[in-house]
Amino acid sequence: MIRSLYNILLFVFVSCCTRDAFGGEQPNIVFVMTDDHASAAVSAYHSKINQTPRLDQLAEQGTLFENAFCTNGICAPSRAVFLTGTHSHINGVEDNGDVFDGSQATFPSLLQQAGYQTALFGKWHLKTDPTGFDHWEVLPGQGHYYSPEFVTKEGKHVVRGYCTDVTTDKALNWLTEQRDQSRPFLLMVQHKAPHRSWMPGTDHLMLYEDVQIPEPETLFDDYSTRSDAARNQEMSIANDMWMSYDLKVPPTDPEASLDGPDRWANGLLERMTPKERVQWEAAFNPRNDEFIKKNLHGKDLVRWKYQRYIKNYLRCIASVDDNVGRLLDSIDAAGLSDNTVVVYVSDQGFYLGEHGWYDKRFMYEPSLRLPMIIRWPGQAVAGQRRQELVQNLDMAQTLLDAAGVASPSRMQGRSLTPLLRGEAPEDWRSSIYYEYSEKGIHNVEPHYGVRTDQYKLIYFPELDAWELYDLHKDPNEVHNRANDEAYAAIQKNLREELQRLRVHYQVPAVKTLVE
């Protein structure tokens, strides 16, 4: 009874105070998240391999954060950080096996309590039903690219079509037909793409057909100065991709016994309609026949795998870009643009062949970095590119601040609204903290570390191994300076900063890193 009365009074109070952080009316919020979209595959981030015109448009109209990073480079932990504004050891989701506690404070639930109408469509991946949403339709687990299944409060249903298109369809239907137009809203559109297994939509199957995608400089990295962590991983394009599941080359013998994820590949194709299956086979069968005839080996085979992987990955992103455009066009057509915050992020980055890898997890730049673009016409400076160190940790407080809703003291990030205004706070953070805890999947060692503008220090506890990189001189992170006497003083300072961050962020069982 007391809690119900408190919630009623809170709603009335906040509803009467409809001023945002900039002194205007409370804005609507459209939050778009993709899965595993590397910033290196966004042309606004100077991509060398693809073009994303609608994301570029968003960046031209808003603020692009050049140095945006995740706190924990896998799906569920990063999503929990976005929602709660807390590090993984605080919100309880340290790896993909953990179950999210939806009773804790999240920015959607706080906005909902403040009078916002809230809706979520697409990937959730947190093992519990979403909380803080008036309406939600989410993919179970990773979901499927074709004929995706959605879970709702009423049950499950399958929708024919391509997941990126279908998720956007659902969001647009809610935006234009179902929402209460008298209230501000939060709309979260969370795509499966471009997550593995990189299945493009039928309208992009021929994209890049006659293009050779540039190879990364470190495609054939030998990890010669790194710790054993880099050598022991199981996420290499050369050795760890599956021919049918990942590379779309089914066995020539229909009776062949399949292992690993290859056992699931045909089931994914069976989700297609007959027309979609015909289009798929028309695109891939001739390419596969040509590949089999070449009988490639060694580096030639790795190069072929890279081209097959990266083209399908980029085809998935092309669908994302198209659908971001559909969303922006609908916001404009509805007359909502002037008072709507639009956010585009990925849950983390991804390896696009750098170091010979796919996947994420490591604290190296390709997976640590994520794209983050925020548009708010008339409030945030359009076309600016910010250099400050920001993280997914900051998003909850940013959106609450924009809506004029107080953030709980447990949140550990910082609102980005001063940066959106074009201000340069003198006390902005000079370092970020990262910690990866999962062991087993892709055999990536748990590790934690600190990154500043110029340096990165990583510690692998189970190996008792350090890695230090000078990012200005060595942006590809191939020269570990942890045992370089010339960097001894720098490493000492970074160890002290790492320890300070672990204390500051309340990391349990803090270890003394400095003698």
- pLDDT single digits (tens) 28-81: 999 999 999 999 999 999 999 999 999 999 999 999 999 999 999 999 999 999
What pLDDT digit, counting tens, does each position of 139-191 carry?
Answer: 999 999 999 999 999 999 999 999 999 999 999 999 999 999 999 999 999 99
Does residue 231 lie in a domain region? no
Q: Is the pLDDT of residue 494 over 90?
A: yes
pLDDT tens readout for residues 304-319: 999 999 999 999 999 9
pLDDT of residue 18: 45
pLDDT band of residue 510 (cuts 50, 70, 90) is low
> Would the pLDDT of 127 be above 90?
yes
Asked whether residue 159 falls in the same domain as residue 51, the answer is yes
Are 145 and 124 in a shared domain?
A: yes
Same-domain status, 273 and 302 = yes
Per-residue pLDDT at 7:
41
Domain count, the chain: 3
- Rounded mean pLDDT, 84-105: 97
Inside any domain, residue 160:
yes
What backbone phi and psi angles, to 5 degrees, belong to 512?
Answer: -80, 115
Q: Do residues 139 and 251 share a domain?
A: no
DSSP 175: I
pLDDT digits (tens, 9 = 90+) for 415-474: 999 999 999 999 999 999 999 999 888 999 999 999 999 999 999 999 999 999 999 999
Mean pLDDT of 121-146: 97
* pLDDT average, residue stretch 188-216: 98
427 in a domain, yes or no? no
Domain that holds residue 293: 207-215+236-309
Per-residue pLDDT, 120: 98
Model pLDDT for residues 314-370, shown as the tens digit of each residue: 999 999 999 999 999 999 999 999 999 999 999 999 999 999 999 999 999 999 999
Using 50, 70 and 90 to split pLDDT, how confident is the model at 257?
Answer: confident
Asked whether the predicted pLDDT for residue 215 surpasses 90, the reply is yes
Q: Are residues 180 and 303 in the same domain?
A: no
Alpha-carbon gap, residue 200 to 315, rounded angstroms: 5
Query: What is the residue-averaged pLDDT of the chain?
Result: 94
pLDDT band at residue 8 using 50, 70 and 90 as cut-offs = very low
- Clarify whether residues 18 and 162 are in a common domain: yes
Identify whether residues 64 and 190 lie together within a single domain: yes
Give me the residues paired with residue 385 across strands: 64
- Of the candidates 309, 334, 369, which is a domain's last residue? 309
Looking at residue 277, its pLDDT comes to 98
pLDDT band at residue 256 under the 50/70/90 scheme = confident
CATH at residue 65: 3.40.720.10
State the Cα–Cα distance between residues 272 and 279, nearest whole angstrom: 10
Is 256 within a domain? yes
Q: Look up residue 44 and give its amino acid.
A: A
Q: Provide, rounded to the nearest whole percent, the portion of the chain with pLDDT above 90.
A: 92
Neighbouring CB atoms inside 10 A of 333's CB total: 10
Instruction: Quote the pTM value.
Output: 0.94
CATH number (domain holding residue 439): 3.30.1120.10
> What was the pLDDT predicted at 253?
86
Domain end position, chosen among 257, 278, 309? 309
- Residues 168, 189: Cα–Cα separation, whole Å: 7
In this prediction, residue 23 carries a pLDDT of: 56
Same domain, 304 and 325: no
3-state SS, one letter per residue, for 43-63: HHHCCCCCCCHHHHHHHHHCE
For the packed helices 53-61 and 298-333, what is the interaxial angle rounded to 10 degrees? 50
Q: Helix (H, G, I), strand (E, B), or coil: what is residue 412?
A: coil
Query: What pLDDT band is residue 24 in, cutting at 50, 70 and 90?
Result: low
* 22, 67: one domain: yes
Any domain includes 154 = yes
Same domain? For 138 and 28 the reply is yes
pLDDT recorded at residue 418: 97
Domain-embedded: residue 220: no
Q: Are residues 447 and 405 in the same domain?
A: no
The residue out of 364, 387, 422 marking a domain boundary is 422
What is the mean predicted confidence (pLDDT) over 89-105? 97
Note whether residue 26 is domain-resident: yes
pLDDT for the residue numbered 440: 83
Whose structure tokens read 């990030």?
Answer: 413
Q: Would you state the pLDDT for residue 441?
A: 87
Q: Find the mean pLDDT for residues 96-103.
A: 96
- Considering the domain architecture, whether residues 33 and 174 belong to the same structural domain is answered as yes
Q: Is 228 inside any structural domain?
A: no
Per DSSP, the residues of 63-109 read EEEEEEE-SS-SHHHHHHHHHHSS-HHHHT--STTSPP-TTS--HHH
